[in-house]
Structure 1
Amino acid sequence: MSQLGEFYRILLHSFRNLLPIIVVVAFFQLAVMQQLPDGLLSMSFGLLVVVLGVALFLQGLELGIFPIGKNLSNEFAKRGSLVLLMSFGFCLGFSAVVAEPALIAVASQAEMISGGRIDGFTLRILVALSVGVVVALGVVRTILGHSLHWYMIGGYLLVVTVTFFAPAEIVGLAYDSGGVTTNIVTVPLIAALGIGLASSIRGRNALAHGFGLVALAVMVPMISVQLYGVVVYSFGSVEEVLPLAAAAAVAVPAQESAPAAGALDLLLGMIGDLLRMFRDVAPIIAVILFFQYMVIRKHIAHIHKVMGGFVLVIVGLYAFVVGLKLGLFPIGRSMAEQLIGLESVLWVYLFAFSIGFATTMAEPALIAIGQKAEEAGKGRLDGNRIRILVAIGVAVGITIGVHRIIAGGSIHYYIMGGYALVILLTWLAPKYIVPLAFDLGGVTTSEVTVPLVTALGIGLATHIPGRSVLIDGFGLIAFASIFPIVTVMLYAIFVERATRAQGATP
């Protein structure tokens, strides 16, 4: 297949991923609200730009970054050097997360809404460092063959403990930051590293030892970001921060309705944004080139294709961020405002459930992980059934998260209760399913779902009296990550007990 044909296939794939959102939004706009949103043309153009950006980004990954990453992993596995594997794992995790589009979007929203109290760049570096460290440790776990469930039980007990002491302004953001670390860039790179490593070591099982790196990459940022919040909010009172957050939230529509800038200013702004995108992607390119030329000391094959892939990654990421600003963020805010204005709050719950289920069923990373799990499970797992279970979990999680915003409950108790349930199920579930279940909780938030769900939460918190945008607006992504773990583990427990009952029946 030619490169043009391959790009056309990826473009259609990106559009199919976005189509469920379009269908759900169109149904609610036409059948429930019976009106079209303001700025429909701009939103539609933004959605198309998102599709184009994701397609260019994925094409760039396939041409430039993935082939080199795969070759590096194979070379290090052949050499059998633990130091090299840990170093590569750290650098790979750090650089992939720094370039993560959804984390960039969430960090920028957090900086704006907190009135600058939370620094977006610092937040991204902190999350990236956390993921780098945990991928390096995850490599050691795979090599030693340790069971993941002890890591997860201990880790989430620590998460719940830190949550109890963390300030309310940071909890939702911390869990959202953990949820968005595993996405369009991170999942393929990290999952391939874990599965490939487990497959190459004698005595290791791809299902039990290959999965789990993604789960660890979700968990540790939740701890580090909450600790960051403790430091940030220990200087100055909450009363000083919330007016800034409110002012920032009000300032968003004003910025959008500002007069159009001149052609030169617009061009300079676009060039500046593009240079910032290069800065965002530069770490992963630097890591790959360093290990390729300074450690392995081999030239890159088909250098022209690789360089073209790097350019496509940067341009695609730029188009994706522009599309977010034009399309998905305004749609999320608009839907939240219109749904809150309806007489029955049940429509808000129905929209949350529908958007969660529809987007998850089309999530490419989930489809890929489901197929890998089916192959590794050797008949014990069905990929399509896993996708349905995960989609139900995401839908339920987002619905519960929306209820928290509407009812006004503290996110501390919801999150602590959710992870207490996860810890209990981790203890009860069959050990083979634990790494996969936690990984599935990390791949459910796609590059399209995250901005829309984040905007929905912020929009609801903005338009419901008595809610704080900073405290109540974040957290929906966290719920979308918790409940797929619950549904998959519950299913595995049910299947195991049903199998035992059938075996015991004479």
Structure 2
Amino acid sequence: MNVLNKLKETAISVLPVMAIVLLLGFTVVPLDKFLLIRFIIGGILLIIGLTIFLVGIDLGIQPMGERCGAELTKKRSLPLLLGCAFLIGLIVTAAEPDIQVFGIQVRGIFDFVNKNIFTFVIAGGVGIFITIGLVRIVFSLSIKWTFFIFYVLLFGIMIFCPDSFIGIAFDSGGATTGPMTVPFIMALGLGVSSVRSDSNNSFGLTGICSVGPVMAVLIYSLILKMTGCFDNMTVAEAASAAECISGGSVMQQIFGPFGNVALEVLRDSVISILPLFCLFLLFQFTLLKMTALQVARVVIGFIYSFVGLAIFLIGVNGGFTQVGSKLGSYLGTMAMNQGGFWFVLLIVIGIIFGAVIVCAEPAVWVLSEQVEEVSGGTITRKLLLVFLSVGTAVAIALALWRSIAGINLKYILIPGYIFSMLLMIFCPPLFSGIAFDSGGVASGPLTSTFVLSFALGAASCGANYNDSFGVIALVAMMPLIAIQIMGIMFKIKTSRQERKSSDGGC
């Protein structure tokens, strides 16, 4: 574990975003100087926090997840494995800060939605589908048929759902894949598959878990529809995603927002870490029986993860979110009023942000490291990040275009997922699993804060605020296409090399 290497990697991922924002702030987009200073401070905190968080994942959470999956599988009790998996999915998801924030956003627009019920609908969906994903691994069921069957069922249900809730349902699938749940879920799947001597079969578990909340929220919307909740629906006006602090001393204007979010971030970080830590204690006394040295290593890993996550979120919420909203609002206003150059600029900036910012997601780093390790270096981290960046860039461009033009989300999602299903026919199963996992991890906390704020700001200038939902859904969809295209290219290249080797041998 090289801390300096991780620091270098995270800095390389975040600094380009900062450079782009600062360039815009000093040229075409008039941004307040204190806002830019807070943005710089937030970026530094983000880099430091992400580095510490990744060190904690390596030390504690990933080894714990792998050991839990392996030990549960060795017990040869499917009910025990599935029961524990459901409990893990339910508890961890219900405590995920992204879900709490997402529930508040939905409640702010649809006042008939009960936030607590909405949260446990999503958590229940994750719990059910993590058990389905583990059943697939245990019985070595086809990952392609698993995804095909559940997505056909998903879109069958979607036909009868209110259009205004479709974006929310698909966004909930992305919001569940937070910085704490993804590493643990991936490690759990790897632990189960390792007992069966098939590590490649572990990929796809996060992707399957992302289907659960989407389906659960769609069913929830059908229940709301049958009870008449949508009959007299009124959509709230867009609210500003950023609050500008005016007045006070220079120090207050610079550091005030960080202080304002610190207590809430610390609380959310504790809520994120504590359920997993309690599960660790439960499993340690009943299942794992690790040595004192191993326990100490895991505890230290949890501490690092908590500290890193808190610093990361303080940086994101204290500096990045406000700038994203201001940029989106200004560019969206200019694009709506003047079009032409400003519309093109909005889309181009969205593409750049999408390509760069996904590389700073904590879960993306965890997935890329696991892919490189399991594939023995055949699938390099850099190659995966390139294709993931391209997919996310296209997704952000589509989301901004849709928000400004008011295009129905179904006209993009349905063809996109149909194309993804068709690609599975030609793509190796390993890459299909990685692709669906990538769709979940790409829509992490940084994307859900900076990019979503940027899109919300742009959408608030012309289209309904309701049109802003679906950004996370598109970010989760496009990597399915991009990574599977990479898999097909890899398959073709490998086949050519094998033919050349065979011809040379003759």
TM-score, structure 2 length as denominator? 0.83
Structure 1 pair 229–476 and aligned structure 2 pair: CA distance change class (3 A): same
Per the TM alignment, residue 319 of structure 1 is displaced from its structure 2 partner at its CA by: 4.3
Q: Does 1:39 align with 2:40?
A: no
Quick one: percent identity of the two aligned structures? 26
Paired residues of 2:69 and 2:190 also in contact (CA < 8 A): no
Counterpart of 1:217 in structure 2 is: 209
What are the equivalent positions in structure 2 for 1:297-312 lying under 5 Å apart? 301=293, 306-307=298-299, 309-312=301-304
SS of 1:92 mapped into structure 2: helix
Q: 1:212 to 1:178 in 2, by over 3 A?
A: same
Does the CA contact (< 8 Å) of 1:117 and 1:241 recur in 2?
A: no
Amino acid at match of 2:344: L
What does residue 236 of structure 1 align with?
A: 229
Contact 1:148 1:435 in 2 (8 A): yes
Deviations 1:189-227 (A, max 9, x none): 22222233223215xx432x2211011011221111222
> Equivalent of 1:85, from 77, 81, 87?
81
1:9 and 1:429, CA in 2 relative to 1: closer, same or farther beyond 3 A?
A: closer
Residue pair 2:62, 2:187 contacting (<8 A) in 1 also: no
C-alpha distance in 2, partners of 1:46/1:427? Answer: 44
Deviation per CA, 1:297-344: give whole Å up to 9, x if none. 667546566555545544554444444432222112111112124442
Would you say how many aligned residue pairs link Structure 1 and Structure 2?
A: 487
Partner residue of 1:72?
Answer: 68
One-letter amino acid of the counterpart of residue 284, structure 1: L
Counterpart of 2:37, as a letter, is L
- Give the superposition deviation at 1:399: 0.8
The corresponding residue for 1:150 is 145
Residue segments in structure 1 that go unaligned for 5+ positions in a row:
none
Find the aligned partners of 2:382 and 2:262 in 1 and give their Cα distance.
42
Change (3 A) 1:156 1:484: same
Residue in structure 2 matched with residue 455 of structure 1 by the alignment: 453
Corresponding position: 1:293 with 2:298: no
Q: Which of residues 132, 136, 157 is equivalent to 2:131?
A: 136
Q: Which amino acid aligns with 1:168?
A: D
Residue 188 of structure 1: aligned partner: 183
Aligned residues of 2:18 and 2:43 also touching (Cα < 8 A): no
Mapped partners of 2:233, 2:371: distance in 1: 49
Q: Distance in 1 between matches of 2:402 and 2:70?
A: 46
Deviations 1:140-175 (A, max 9, x none): 211111111111111111222222222233221221
Distance 1:294 1:116, change over 3 A: farther
Aligned to 2:393: 395
Q: 2:96 touches 2:271 (CA, 8 Å); kept in 1? A: no
Q: Deviations over 1:16-54 (max 9, x none)?
A: 442232122223333443655663333444444444544
**Residue 478 (structure 1) shift:** 1.4
| Correspondence for 2:239 | 249
Structure 1 CA distance, aligned partners of 2:266 and 2:377?
A: 47
> How has the CA–CA distance of structure 1 residues 468 and 496 changed in structure 2, closer, same or farther, with 3 Å as cutoff?
same
User: What displacement does 1:57 show?
Assistant: 4.1
Q: 1:22 aligns with which of 18, 22, 32?
A: 18
Distance (whole Å) between structure 1 residues aligned to residue 311 and residue 490 of structure 2: 45
Structure 2 SS opposite 1:448: helix
Give the letter aligned to residue 285 of structure 1: F
Q: Deviation string for 1:238-277 (max 9, x for gaps)?
A: 65431xx21x615x6569669999xxxx999965764454
Q: Is the 8 A contact 1:64 1:308 kept in 2?
A: yes
- 1:395 offset after TM fit, Å? 0.8
Matching residue of 1:485 = 480
Distance 1:298 1:273 in 2: 31
Partner of 1:125: 120
1:417 matched to 2:422:
no
Q: Do the aligned residues in 1 keep the contact of 2:50 with 2:362 (CA within 8 Å)?
A: no
Residues 350, 396 of structure 2: 8 Å contact kept: yes
What's the TM-score once normalised by structure 1's chain length? 0.83
Contact 1:91–1:287 (8 Å) recurs in 2: no
Deviation readout 1:414-468 (Å, 9 max, x if unpaired): 111211211222234334432222222222233322211111221112112xx22
8 Å CA contact 1:293–1:299 kept in 2: the answer is: no
Q: Is the 8 A contact 2:242 2:321 kept in 1?
A: no
* One-letter amino acid matched to 1:336: G
- For the structure 1 residues 51 and 126, does the alpha-carbon distance in structure 2 shift closer, same or farther, using more than 3 Å as the test? farther
Structure 2 unpaired stretches of 5+: none
- Paired letter, 1:439: D
Indicate how the Cα distance of structure 1 residues 47 and 386 shifts in structure 2: closer, same or farther if over 3 A, else same. closer
Residue 68 of structure 2 contacts residue 191 of structure 2 at CA under 8 Å; is this kept in 1? Answer: no
Q: Does the 8 A contact of 1:96 with 1:284 survive in 2?
A: yes
Partner letter of residue 384 of structure 1?
K
Instruction: State the alpha-carbon separation in 2 of the partners of residues 59 and 378 from structure 1.
Output: 21
Write the distance in 1 (CA, Å) between the matches of 2:405 and 2:261.
41
Q: Deviations over 1:109-128 (max 9, x none)?
A: 333x3264444444333322
Equivalent position amino acid for 1:220 in 2: G
Two-structure CA RMSD over aligned residues (Å): 3.6
State the alpha-carbon separation in 2 of the partners of residues 378 and 422 from structure 1: 26
